[in-house]
Amino acid sequence: MADGVPKTGWQVGIDIGGTFTDLVALLPSTGEVRSIKVPTQRNDPVASIKAALAAADLLAEDVADLVHGTTLVTNAIVEDRVEPVVLVATRGFEDVLDIGRAGRQHLYRLDLPPRRAAQVPTERRVGLAERVAHTGKAVLVPDAAAIAEAVRQVKAAGVESVAVSLLHSYANPAHERAVGTALAAAVPFVSLSHEVNPETREFERTATTVLNASVMPIAARYLDRLQREVKGARLHVMHSAGGMASPEAAARRPLSMALSGPAAGVSAAAYVAASLGLEKVLSFDMGGTTTDVCLIANGAAEISTDSKLAGRPVRQPMVAVESIGAGGGSLVMIGTGGLSIGPESAGAEPGPAAYGRGGTRPTVTDANAVLGYLDPARRLGGAITLDVAAAEAALAPLAQRLGISVVALSLGVQRVANATMVRALARVTVERGVDGRQCTLLAFGGAGPMHAARLAREFGIAEIVVPRFSSGFSALGCIVADMSYTQQQAVRLLSTTWDPTRFGALHDGMLATLMEPLHRQGHSAKEIAVERTALVRYVGQSYAVEVPFAERLDLQKLGHDFRERHRTIYGYATDEHWEMQSLRMRALVPRHTKFGPLVEQRGQPEPMSVSPCWFEPSAPHQTPRYDRDRLPAAVRIAGPAVIEDAWATVIVPPGYTASADAMGHLWIKESAT
């Protein structure tokens, strides 16, 4: 396994989305690839996985590695279906969740609550007599009686999960470890803040630790059942930083799976961007329920550590995805501000009206069907027959209210959906100092390739790539992702009073923690690569700049690189003193998954059919439809055109051209360029 991929047995990636479950499987010994999509069984994700394997004609014993992306943790948090938690905090700091940041979620809406209620009510908070200074010095060591009393109060609460977040435990975790050891004998699930988020900012660290504890029972039950029912394959789970981890590691820190599904799509986008040599890429993943966008530079996705999920702080290394509730299945409504898209979705059952499964409420997919983009003469994936009449019936009441035709309404739905997604692209580029017009748009997901060209035009992007396996791209991301573990920890060392001994001890301790699960999985030190990033800021600044550095830290070079990076982002840099706020490290075993080129097609492609499609309200265009699997490499197809595979539809509007490369990626550009 020198190249990170076993030579025998199927490599299977499965992504469970809100509407569909996608599977991509590769047999390295022969290069055979299988790609399928089945409806998601929302109340039984394990059944969705088993259905996907059955549809791909695969048995669990045929699979060497099964890598899984899931929205289980995200959905539990968003839908507030988490488990009750007891919080053990330093005495006097039990109410940190109530105090928060003393801000309002809705600044100008005094009729709304200022913030979400604290996740742990007062009666389930336990104060422990202990104290650690910000330097790590133990000021008050908890005695055995104090710890025993805390354990007694936790047991009396009658819950399965406990979160321990003691003051300044990131600087010295000894007290937390002692309490954690005692609690482990009393309750099944214990979440320690120095393991979940060993950084400053008491409120965010405590809130993240509590959130991790609240999903531990849910994740543990799910992963245990998955391992029991999918026997034979080595199971891995996608985590939010874009890599995969063992089920055991995911069970200890289930919050790391909060962006598991979107992270898989970003992983695949980074893989394709690197293989094509694209410097700046915007991944555009439009599925049935949401749209996720992310900036990828030099083959690596941007990582964020300060996020929110359902209004609660989440401080974990995550791919910096901007997610909006606008997908193919998003409902179309008329509100006080006019036409709106989502965030409510028709889901997989009954789904959009166009799917003919009993759905009656209008969706973005219904608008695309009315515009002629979806072909009613074919069955999506061999399973879904399109019903354009039902789509028109679902949209007709809205069109009547606005006094326009159903076609005009459908074109308006497209424009509103694209405008919503333009704002998301701006948030990951313009608001971070990046000119998005210089990026390539990488469009995937079930609906992404239908909207990509118009979206790119509105944003000013000249080049679009619709990758191979675009409809199941997140599943592809599962099998190309590296096996990796990421941690970020507070450092707080000044450039003027640098302590190399302290930094070395912290660095080596983090490295040992990250390497341990990889060694346990049988990987040698030679297989493991380590990435190091310093988060550096001028003294007094609120936010830090990410500066990569080599294994042997050169302080002078770090300072130089920090100033250059600061100048690039903010337009200036000074010679003032700086400090390393935090250290982020990632230990990984690279996977060199390789897909062979497609069977070369020859000659000029013939359209499968020609049908009317609407691109403006005046009149439809007679538009040819092509089979994507039969497109020869380098042949240019002028728009308007529709290019289809089993599940995805790619729209090439008038004024655009499309061509396929040898690997099966589609390149779309405006004709003038």
* 6-52 pLDDT, tens digit each: 556 888 999 887 667 889 998 888 888 888 888 888 778 888 999 99
CA–CA gap between residue 371 and residue 361 (Å, rounded) = 17
User: Which residue, 559, 574, 589, sits at the end of a domain?
Assistant: 589
Nearest-CA neighbor of 323 among 281, 285, 267?
A: 285
- Per-residue pLDDT of 267-321, as tens digits, reads 999 999 998 999 899 999 887 777 888 889 888 888 887 787 777 888 888 888 8
pLDDT score of 551 more than 60: yes
Adjacent-strand bridge partners of 624 = 610
Looking at the structure, do residues 195 and 249 belong to the same domain, yes or no?
Answer: no
SS (H, E, C) 96-157: HHHHCCCCCCCCCCCCCCCCCCCCCCHHHEEEECCEECCCCCEEECCCHHHHHHHHHHHHHH
Give me the CATH number covering residue 240: 3.30.420.40
Q: Evaluate whether 339 touches 413 at the Cβ level (below 8 Å).
A: yes
User: Which residue, 589, 606, 630, sits at the end of a domain?
Assistant: 589
Looking at the structure, do residues 123 and 54 belong to the same domain, yes or no?
Answer: no
Q: Average the pLDDT over 157-184 and give the result.
A: 94
Looking at the structure, do residues 67 and 88 belong to the same domain, yes or no?
Answer: no
Q: Average the pLDDT over 598-625 and give the result.
A: 86
Mean pLDDT score across all residues of the chain: 87
Expressed in percent and rounded to 5, the helix, strand and coil fractions of the chain are 35, 30, 35
pLDDT at 1: 42
Number of domains in the chain: 3
Structural domain of 38: 10-75+235-253
Looking at the structure, do residues 64 and 88 belong to the same domain, yes or no?
Answer: no
Q: Which residues 6+ apart lie within 8 Å of 13 measured at CB? A: 23, 24, 25, 67, 68, 69, 264, 474, 475, 476, 477, 478, 479, 480
SS (H, E, C) 502-523: HHHHHHHHHHHHHHHHHHHCCC
- Sign of torsion, CA 452 458 461 462? positive
Query: Which pair of tokens denotes residue 640?
Result: 């308007």
Looking at the structure, do residues 57 and 36 belong to the same domain, yes or no?
Answer: yes
Give me the CATH number covering residue 102: 3.40.50
Query: Which pair of tokens denotes residue 357?
Result: 């499964």
pLDDT at 2: 42
Query: Which pair of tokens denotes residue 583?
Result: 């250290």
Give me the CATH number covering residue 516: 3.30.1490
**CA 495 → CA 507, 539, 560, distances in Å?**
17, 10, 12
Type of residue at 59? L
71 occurs within a structural domain: yes
Looking at the structure, do residues 141 and 176 belong to the same domain, yes or no?
Answer: yes
pLDDT score of 118 more than 80: yes
Looking at the structure, do residues 104 and 161 belong to the same domain, yes or no?
Answer: yes
169 occurs within a structural domain: yes
- Per-residue pLDDT of 426-482, as tens digits, reads 888 877 778 888 899 999 987 889 999 999 999 999 999 999 888 888 888 888 888
Looking at the structure, do residues 176 and 241 belong to the same domain, yes or no?
Answer: no
- Per-residue pLDDT of 214-257, as tens digits, reads 999 999 998 998 888 888 788 888 888 888 888 888 888 999 88
Global pTM?
Answer: 0.83
Name the band, by pLDDT with cuts 50, 70 and 90, for residue 672.
low
624 occurs within a structural domain: no
Looking at the structure, do residues 571 and 540 belong to the same domain, yes or no?
Answer: yes
Looking at the structure, do residues 118 and 53 belong to the same domain, yes or no?
Answer: no
Looking at the structure, do residues 68 and 157 belong to the same domain, yes or no?
Answer: no
Nearest-CA neighbor of 354 among 345, 363, 342?
A: 363
Type of residue at 95? D
540 occurs within a structural domain: yes
SS3 call for 289: coil
Q: Which residues 6+ apart lie within 8 Å of 388 measured at CB? A: 354, 369, 370, 374, 376
CA–CA gap between residue 60 and residue 53 (Å, rounded) = 8
